[in-house]
Amino acid sequence: MKLQEVVDELAQVLERSVVINDAEYRPVAASAQGDDIDRIRAESLLRRSTPDAARRYLEGLSVDDLRYPTTVDLSGFDARERLAVPIRSDDRLYGVLWLITGGLPALTESDLAAVDVAVDSALPMLFSDSVSPDDSYGRERSDGYLMRLLSDDVAVRRQAFTEALGRHALVRGPDTVIRAVLVDGQENSIALNVFGRCLDRPRDSSVRFLGLCGDCLIFVSHAHDSAVLEEKIRTESADRVFTIRSIGSAAHQHDDDDLRVVADRAVTAAKTAAVLPEFGARADYSELGSWILLQAVGGDRSLLSSFSPAAYELWERSDAVQRQTVETYLDCGGHAQVACEQLHIHRTTLYYRLENMPESVRHALDDGLARSTLHVTLKLIRLWEATGRL
């Protein structure tokens, strides 16, 4: 995320304009300005610096030394009241996030949580030294190592995992479970971070929010917290009017050296559950079975006829009844009675349908390997259709 995206997304959440100044009182990012703009803000944005008189006034208020969000009265400049939110690391100020508050509705607890997320996002962008955002720069809270568990840097995330084990925050093995919550791709990332953070409170909770991975919110918890966590996720998302497409999970394995690979498995489970109805929008990676194999298949539709001419012909005919009949029959291992129960048809109807299948399909059903390939390719076609590859 870029600094401009931070202010734009925060402005969208707060429904008011946002400006971030650097430590020299120069605007470095500003959202679109609405009716709340006043003379000082307009002049600051046009000149790319705070007017001298206003700057001297702010310096006199020791804005550079702010540790917490503070209300600033600017009525002496015929300007509206502001909330100044410091963006700092220990003793060094890197910038200030400014919100006009005068004459506007009071900021809610949820609004302030969004501001906190924006400040956390903006700090590494304003950090002038060549330090990775994954490195500690003093502002990190005592459990900040948890935020590095999904770092792109292998060494950083493995060090964080080792620290988490040493602090007994996590345990190695299947009692540690990652959950990936797949949301609508249009959701605001700052709002999603606020949503994620609200679920790992109070601080003694075993459920922790680790951040975003694409369109997924990533949580880590103990295995026995599964039902409680998922209920909290769905309840909180409903309250915040978020659309949850699916939830995927994956357990840590004793030979996994960090949590990133586990998170990747959980994301795979969530994305699979989102497109395949039989999972009911909820899947664990261990339940995916052959779907994992199918997701690894490359190529395009031109290969389908090579994989299985019978499956290709069924797909090309676009006869939903024939496809469902064959796939269900194969899912049931060729047991006619079970297939009839699932299809809600009589055995005579099933045999009639099978006898009137295309010749390539009838031949495949009579040949062991061709039968298996037909089954797998029908699943592959369904997966590709669901994910937009067909």
Average pLDDT, the chain: 87
CA distances from 46 to 40, 57, 67, 302 (A): 10, 20, 28, 57
Question: Residue 381: what pLDDT?
Answer: 94
Which of helix, strand or coil describes residue 201?
A: coil
The percentage of residues in the chain with a pLDDT greater than 70, rounded to a whole number, is 94
Question: Residue 137: what pLDDT?
Answer: 42
Mean pLDDT in residue range 353-362: 95
pTM, entire model: 0.77
Question: Residue 130: what pLDDT?
Answer: 31
Beta-strand runs (E) in 119-202: 176-183
- Paired with 349 in beta bridges are none
pLDDT-derived band at 205, boundaries 50, 70, 90? low
CA distances from 218 to 153, 182, 264 (A): 17, 9, 10
Strand-by-strand arrangement of the 92-100 sheet: 27-30, 18-22, 92-100, 82-89, 70-72
Residue 342 pLDDT > 70: yes
Question: Residue 264: what pLDDT?
Answer: 95
Distance of CA 357 to the CA centre of its chain: 44
